[in-house]
Amino acid sequence: MSNESLSDKEKIRYSRQLMLKEVGFDGQKKLKKAKVLIIGIGGLGCPAALYLAASGIGELTLVDNDKVELTNLQRQILYKINHLGQNKTLAAKKILASLNNEITINIVNEKLSETNVEALINSADIVLDCSDNFTTRYLVNHYCVSLKKVLISAAAIATQGQLMVFDNRQQGLGCYQCLFEPSQQQAALNCENSGVLSPLLGVMGTMQATQTLNYILGHMNSNQFISFNALTFEQKKISFSANPDCDIC
Ligand SMILES: [Zn+2]
């Protein structure tokens, strides 16, 4: 089936989206043509990938080198008991393909590094940072800025979530490193050392998927920082600008 059209089966599968004036046939075809790179298939990457696969993103590339552990099952919703010990990328691909067999799912069972980052980001239309450490986030940011790719980044620790959308196609709007200067980062908090409320990752990963669709469909709200408190349900939206001292952008 050509990327230029939708099959009868696709018209039925995506009918509830085709009905929306914000999507329609043209929008659904844009989703079908889109290539999305997801870095980290953990608490954020799982819900993001599920919704992107379900909504008909034509090509997903999943990058992760971890294996499924019992502690992951509290929040990494693609994985089941029978996946314990398996590579996350392979287990994720099986589940996503069983949801939608009309899309392409590429898996890269490697840690993101200087060796593979440029080629991976270069081949994507849009990048989702679903990782859990600053080393990866800075690396992803660096290459998204230099290759002018839109970056949708999220994080969740304990009961607090953050979502950031960076439109690197334009210069001067500010990047991840403008917001989080390396010199100010203390030892990274993560789910392993601080814990996290399970559905908060669903909220934040689903927001990343929603912003991905917004970008592809031309409705993106870029260069915003959103913080979400899972206890009070308070959501704050802050616009940010470039840090003139940033080394990256
Ligand atoms: Zn910057």
For the segment 3-41, what is each residue's pLDDT rounded down to a tens digit? Answer: 469 999 999 999 999 999 999 999 999 999 999 999 999
Q: Give the distance (Å) from ligand 1 centre to CA of residue 246.
A: 5
Query: How many alpha carbons fall within 13 Å on the CB side of residue 223?
Result: 15
pLDDT at 183 over 70: yes
Residue 55 lies in a domain: yes
Residue 248 lies in a domain: no
Give the count of domains, the chain.
1
Show the tokens assigned to 238: 């802050």
* CA proximity to 72, closest of 93, 57, 54, 87: 87
Q: Which pLDDT score is estimated for 189?
A: 66
Show the tokens assigned to 14: 């995506």
Q: Which pLDDT score is estimated for 193?
A: 78
Q: Give the distance (Å) from ligand 1 centre to CA of residue 145.
A: 8
Q: Give the distance (Å) from ligand 1 centre to CA of residue 64.
A: 26
| 62-105 residue pLDDT tens | 999 999 999 999 999 999 999 999 999 999 999 999 999 999 99
Which pTM does this prediction carry? Answer: 0.95
Residue 1 lies in a domain: no
In sequence order, what are the residues at sequence separation of 6 or more whose Cβ sits closer than 8 angstroms to the Cβ of residue 146? none
Secondary-structure breakdown of the chain: helix, strand, coil percentages, each rounded to the nearest 5? 40, 20, 40
Spatial separation of the C-alpha atoms in residues 42 and 127, rounded to whole Å: 15
Radius of gyration of the chain (CA): 17
Spatial separation of the C-alpha atoms in residues 39 and 99, rounded to whole Å: 20
Q: Which pLDDT score is estimated for 187?
A: 61
Spatial separation of the C-alpha atoms in residues 104 and 119, rounded to whole Å: 18
Residue 11 lies in a domain: no
CATH code assigned at 169: 3.40.50.720
pLDDT at 2 over 70: no
In sequence order, what are the residues at sequence separation of 6 or more whose Cβ sits closer than 8 angstroms to the Cβ of residue 157? 189, 190, 191, 194, 196
Q: Give the distance (Å) from ligand 1 centre to CA of residue 23.
A: 32
Q: Which pLDDT score is estimated for 144?
A: 97
Q: Give the distance (Å) from ligand 1 centre to CA of residue 142.
A: 9
Question: Residue 71 is part of which domain span?
Answer: 34-239
Of 32-46, 135-149, 186-200, 222-236, give the lowest mean pLDDT range: 186-200
Burial of 225 per CB tally in 10 Å (0-12, 13-18, 19+): middle
Show the tokens assigned to 193: 């050392």
